[in-house]
Amino acid sequence: SSELTQDPAVSVALGQTVRITCQGDSLTHYSARWYQKRPGQAPVVVISGENNRPSGIPDRFSGSTSGNTGSLTITGAQAADEADYFCNSRDISGIPLFGGGTKLTVL
Amino acid sequence: QITLKESAPTLVKPTQTLKLTCTFSGFSLSSSGVGVGWVRQTPGMPLEWLALIYWDNDKRYSPSLRSRLTITKDTSRNLVVLTVTNMEPVDTATYYCTRDFWGGDGYYFDYWGQGTLVTVSA
């Protein structure tokens, strides 16, 4: 399968930890990247590889991939983290794939 | 400082061809490992990858849209053009230009333009 599956919505209490997951066969050979998308703004990469966090991204964001599942963990979620999160991988021929997105609500 | 900026008509009619131009600065598309691509999003829908072109002129297209897409680059002018033929109302979206960068264990989209909204309507 060339799809990436995400839960449509997840909520977390302010200051608590939340994990957003992504499943797909491509993740067995290409670790998940994660993008934060706020309305009216361009996507921002928050995880750029196997637990690689670009400069400027808070260290409360972490990522991992195991088997066919990628995970984005936010430890101590903040109100500013409320956004849509998209996982991204590549298929065997290098074609980028995006998950359906997870809407994160911070309560 | 790396920037990318999209330009396109805001309104196109059904069946017309859309030309999207990405003008970038702060990097060269002749540098090994670098690519520039296009991603679009309709409100409330997922990000949808469309096309990529790399420093060596390798081109990749979304399988579902391949027949309608053509991507080209002008390295000397730092721009990438994507044409989309036979536009339909379902193609109404914000189109983003993005740099594809090799991060050591694979590529990722590290810089993005602000996006340009294209509406398809008669």
Helix (H, G, I), strand (E, B) or coil at A85: strand
Q: Which residues touch A20 (CB under 8 Å, ≥6 apart)?
A: A6, A7, A10, A34, A71, A72, A73, A74, A85, A87, A102, A104
Residues A60-101 have pLDDT tens digits of: 999 999 999 999 999 999 999 999 999 999 999 999 999 999
Q: What pLDDT is recorded for position A1?
A: 54
**What percentage of chain B exceeds 90 in pLDDT?**
96
Cβ pair A100:B104 closer than 8 A: no
Q: Name the burial class of residue A21, with classes exposed (0-12), middle (13-18) and buried (19+) by CB atoms within 10 angstroms of its CB.
A: middle
B interface mutation test: which of A6, A22, A46, A95 has the most B CBs within 10 A?
Answer: A95
Q: Measured between CB atoms, which of A33, A42, A49 is closest to B112?
A: A42
Largest CA distance in chain A: 40
Residues A21-55 have pLDDT tens digits of: 999 999 999 999 999 999 999 999 999 988 799 99
Taking only Cα atoms into account, the Rg of chain B, rounded to an integer number of angstroms, comes to 14
Residue with tokens 């330009």: B7
CA-based nearest distance B19→chain A, Å: 20
Q: Measured between CB atoms, which of A33, A93, A100 is closest to B108?
A: A33
From chain B, pick out residues whose CB is under 8 angstroms from the CB of A4: none
